[in-house]
Structure 1
Amino acid sequence: MFSPRQTSSWISQILMKKYHVLSPMLKLQEVSVTFGRPIFTNPYCSSERVDPKAHKPNSSTWCSRKKNEQIGVERTRKGTISPQGFSIFAAGASKERGKFCAEEEEPVVSTNSVVERPPPEKPLSPEEWEKLKRKYRGYKIFEEYMLIQMINYNRPIDVAKSLLAAVAKRDGDIPYMFLLQYLVLCESQEQTKEICDIFDIMRARYKTFDSGAVTLLIRGLSCSPRWRDALTFLEQIKKQKVDTPSNKNYRDCINGALMNQEINLALELYHQLLAEGLTPTLDTLQLFFDTCKGVQDGRLKNELISMLNYLRDNQLYPEENFMKSIKQWFESIPGENWKGTITGIQRSGRCSSCNQTLEDINLSPEEYNLLKEKILKEVIQGKDVFRKTTPVELEEFQKFVNIHSPFDIVIDGLNVSKISPKYNPSDTLLDVVNYLAQKNPRLLVLGRKHMLKGNSQWKRQNMTIMSRKAKFFFTEDVSQDDPFLLYATLHSGNHCKFITHDLLRDHKACVSDELIQRLFFKWQRGHQMVIPFYKPGLRIQLQHVLTYNTIVQTTGNSWHIPYDDNFTKRTSYEVPTKWLCLQRK
Structure 2
Amino acid sequence: MFMILRKTSICGNSKPFQQVSNYAKIFKLLISKEERAAKLQKERFELVRTCITSALKNRRSLSVSEFRTIESEMRSKSYHRIRDHIFDVFFTLRPPNDSMENARNFIEAFDIKDDLNITSKLIRLYAKKASESQLTEKEEQELIGRCDALIAKEFHALPEMNSIIVNGLCATKDWRKVIELPALCKNSVNIIARKALKENEIDMAWDVLHKLFSFPKHHQHLNSKTIQSVAKYFNRNPKSIPTNANKLFSLCEKLKMLFTEPAIKELRDVLEKHGHQAKIINMGFSGICSTCKSQLEKSKPLSTTQFNMLRTEFMDKVVKGADIYQKTTPEEWKSFEEVIRENGPFDIVMDGLNVSYLAKKTVDQAKANNQSSSLSKLHFNLDGRPNVHTLTNAVKQLHDEGKRVLVVGRKHMNRWPNINNIRKIATLFLVDNISKDDIFLLYAAMHSGQNSYILSNDFMRDHKFAIGRYNELFKLWQQEQWYGFTLGQNKPIELVKPMQYKMYIHKVGDYWHLPFKTNEHLEAKMWNSYELPEDWACIRIKENVECE
TM bin, normalised by shorter chain, reads 0.5 to 0.7
Measure the CA separation in 2 of the matches of 1:424 and 1:273.
49
Measure the CA separation in 2 of the matches of 1:264 and 1:208.
31
Q: Secondary structure at the match of 2:56?
A: coil
Query: Where does residue 59 of structure 2 map in the other structure?
Result: 122
* C-alpha contact (below 8 Å) 1:338/1:584 kept by paired residues: yes
Asked whether 1:503 is paired with 2:442, we answer: no
Q: Secondary structure at the match of 1:513?
A: helix
Task: Measure how far apart 1:265 and its partner are.
Answer: 3.0
> Aligned Cα RMSD in Å?
5.1
Question: What is the aligned counterpart of 2:403 among 425, 432, 443?
Answer: 443
Query: Where does residue 274 of structure 1 map in the other structure?
Result: 213
Query: Where does residue 18 of structure 2 map in the other structure?
Result: none
Change (3 A) 1:305 1:445: closer
Alignment of 1:139-288 (within 5 A): 139=74, 146-155=86-95, 158=98, 160-161=100-101, 164=104, 175-177=113-115, 181-190=121-130, 191-193=134-136, 194-199=138-143, 201-202=145-146, 208=153, 210-211=155-156, 215-231=163-179, 235=181, 238=182, 244-277=183-216, 278-282=219-223, 283-288=225-230
Long gaps (5+) in structure 2: 1-36, 76-80, 322-329, 359-381, 433-438, 543-548
Query: Where does residue 258 of structure 2 map in the other structure?
Result: 316
Alignment of 1:62-77 (within 5 A): none
Asked whether 1:529 is paired with 2:484, we answer: yes
Query: Where does residue 281 of structure 2 map in the other structure?
Result: 343
Task: Measure how far apart 1:447 and its partner are.
Answer: 4.9
Measure the CA separation in 1 of the matches of 2:352 and 2:520.
36
Asked whether 1:352 is paired with 2:290, we answer: yes
Task: Measure how far apart 1:139 and its partner are.
Answer: 3.5
Task: Measure how far apart 1:372 and its partner are.
Answer: 4.3
Alignment: residue pair count: 436
Measure the CA separation in 2 of the matches of 1:576 and 1:447.
27
Query: Where does residue 443 of structure 2 map in the other structure?
Result: 483
1:18-50 deviation line (CA, Å, top 9, x unaligned)? xxxxxxxxxxxxxxxxx979x9xxxxxxxxxxx
Query: Where does residue 557 of structure 1 map in the other structure?
Result: 510
1:459-502 deviation line (CA, Å, top 9, x unaligned)? 598359x64xxxx346798994653345557337xxxx542355
1:150-170 deviation line (CA, Å, top 9, x unaligned)? 3222455756437746975x8
* C-alpha contact (below 8 Å) 2:282/2:535 kept by paired residues: yes
Structure with more of its chain in helix, by fraction: 2
Query: Where does residue 325 of structure 1 map in the other structure?
Result: 267
Task: Measure how far apart 1:369 and its partner are.
Answer: 3.3
Task: Measure how far apart 1:582 and its partner are.
Answer: 1.9
Asked whether 1:138 is paired with 2:73, we answer: yes
Measure the CA separation in 2 of the matches of 1:213 and 1:137.
30
1:341-367 deviation line (CA, Å, top 9, x unaligned)? 122223433323233333346x54xx2
Query: Where does residue 7 of structure 1 map in the other structure?
Result: none
TM-score, with normalisation over the residues of structure 2? 0.61
Change (3 A) 1:323 1:520: farther
* C-alpha contact (below 8 Å) 2:483/2:498 kept by paired residues: no
Task: Measure how far apart 1:521 and its partner are.
Answer: 2.7
Task: Measure how far apart 1:552 and its partner are.
Answer: 1.6
Measure the CA separation in 2 of the matches of 1:481 and 1:442.
20
Task: Measure how far apart 1:201 and its partner are.
Answer: 5.0
Query: Where does residue 546 of structure 2 map in the other structure?
Result: none
Query: Where does residue 306 of structure 1 map in the other structure?
Result: 250
Letter in 2 for 1:503: F
* C-alpha contact (below 8 Å) 2:144/2:168 kept by paired residues: no
Task: Measure how far apart 1:505 and its partner are.
Answer: 4.8
1:268-308 deviation line (CA, Å, top 9, x unaligned)? 32223422444243233554454355345997566324213
Higher relative contact order (CA 8 A, sep 6+): 1
* C-alpha contact (below 8 Å) 1:339/1:582 kept by paired residues: yes
Measure the CA separation in 2 of the matches of 1:245 and 1:113.
38
Change (3 A) 1:294 1:389: farther
* C-alpha contact (below 8 Å) 2:61/2:102 kept by paired residues: yes
Measure the CA separation in 1 of the matches of 2:461 and 2:72.
51
Query: Where does residue 421 of structure 2 map in the other structure?
Result: 462
Query: Where does residue 534 of structure 2 map in the other structure?
Result: 577
Task: Measure how far apart 1:340 and its partner are.
Answer: 1.3
* C-alpha contact (below 8 Å) 1:320/1:566 kept by paired residues: no
1:494-540 deviation line (CA, Å, top 9, x unaligned)? xxx5423553456775575244223113214xx42257x899xx678
Measure the CA separation in 2 of the matches of 1:326 and 1:199.
37
Change (3 A) 1:264 1:583: closer
Measure the CA separation in 1 of the matches of 2:267 and 2:210.
21
Change (3 A) 1:417 1:36: closer
Task: Measure how far apart 1:198 and its partner are.
Answer: 1.1
* C-alpha contact (below 8 Å) 1:379/1:510 kept by paired residues: yes
Q: Secondary structure at the match of 1:340?
A: strand
Letter in 2 for 1:268: D
Task: Measure how far apart 1:324 and its partner are.
Answer: 3.1
Measure the CA separation in 2 of the matches of 1:373 and 1:166.
57
TM-score, with normalisation over the residues of structure 1? 0.57
Of the structure 1 ranges 412-421 and 273-282, higher mean CA displacement relative to structure 2 is found in 412-421
Asked whether 1:432 is paired with 2:394, we answer: yes
Measure the CA separation in 1 of the matches of 2:495 and 2:62.
68
Task: Measure how far apart 1:556 and its partner are.
Answer: 2.7
Q: Secondary structure at the match of 2:259?
A: coil
Task: Measure how far apart 1:110 and its partner are.
Answer: 4.8
Alignment of 1:28-43 (within 5 A): none
Give % identity.
17
